[in-house]
Amino acid sequence: MNKKMVLSALSIVAAVSSSASFAAFTAPGQGVVGSVHDMNQYTAATKDTEGRVCAFCHTPHHALTSTTVTDYMPLWSHTLANTSGYKPYDSATLDATIKDATTMMEGPSKLCMSCHDGTVAADVHYATTTGTLWLDSDAFGGAAVAKDFTLTNDHPIGFVYDDVAAGTAAGAVGTSTEAGKDNYIKNSGAKFSSNLSITVASRLFVNVQNKAIMTCATCHDVHNKKNVDEGTKNYLLLSPNTNSQICLSCHIK
């Protein structure tokens, strides 16, 4: 990225963070058009010439396909930054076995990171590769200058959910003595607080080995449709941040 692009990217970040309220973007549950994920909302350079919204992520033809693994590429039209090598979260008390770095990003997570690690411009999509937008001010992949593709400081993803979740769906503490089980996590039958038609299970990615994995989409709805966020920000969350309901949907605390 040259200096001019860095500068324009920074001004876009500033513009987005000051306007990322419900006033500027559609409210939770109102769909992707007009939401934070409608790339036409940002600068003139970002806009799709035909005003398409889905096109930044999907294309009906000429989509990207995976050559290495049987994975999830829902007619994907956005360049993938890095399909292997994100470093996982770890801690002394983590019970979950996070899949190795190459498979940790199975399912939607790598699709999210194709924009949110800050290496590929968010407006790069099929037939439109101007690359004028670099947006994620948090850059999940690390500092904008030295990307090492780390997710070590982010909530763990990329593990088989029910291998670790040993509490009951209703929220009773589990009784398992097995290593690798956490009795204070509800099993995947649990429902999202204030969004009771949605179970955790329905938000896990079931891979080719039929294992249901926790991903970014377990907490967020990229299409701004099933989320019920409330507050001053729309984080596309399946349960509100208010009273940390999103966390308590799974954690027995």
Residue 65: alpha-carbon gap to chain centroid: 20
Residue 78 within binding range of ligand HEC, rule CB under 6 A: yes
Residue 228 or 237 having the CB closest to ligand HEC? 237
Residue 162 sits in the site that holds ligand HEC (CB under 6 A) = no
Nearest Cα to 109, choosing from 162, 58, 35, 159?
159
> Using CB under 6 A, which of 20, 27, 63, 73 touches ligand HEC?
20
CB of 4 to ligand HEC, least distance (A): 20
- Bridge partner list, 192: 195
**Burial letters for 189-218: b for 16+ Cβ neighbours within 10 Å, e otherwise?**
ebbbbbbeebbbbebbbebeeebbbbbbbb
- 212 forms part of the interface with ligand HEC (CB under 6 A): no
Site string for ligand HEC, 26-45 (x = CB under 6 A): ------x---xx--------
185 contributes a contact to ligand HEC by CB under 6 A: yes
Distance CA 245, CA 235 (A): 13
Pick from 104, 165, 198, 228 the residue near ligand HEC by CB under 6 A: 165
Q: Which stretch binds ligand HEC (CB under 6 A): 1-9, 60-68, 168-176, 242-250?
A: 242-250
- Gap between the Cα atoms of 125 and 122, Å rounded: 8
Token pair belonging to 211: 């294992």
Tokens of 72: 């999830």
Shortest Å, Cβ 108 to ligand HEC = 3
Considering only residues 8, 15, 43, 58, which one is a binding residue for ligand HEC as defined by CB under 6 A? 58
Q: Which residues bind ligand HEC (CB under 6 A)?
A: 16, 20, 32, 36-37, 53-54, 56-58, 74, 78, 91, 93-96, 108-109, 111-116, 122, 135-136, 138, 140, 151, 154-157, 161, 164-165, 182, 185, 200, 216-220, 222-223, 233, 235-237, 241, 244, 246-247, 249-251
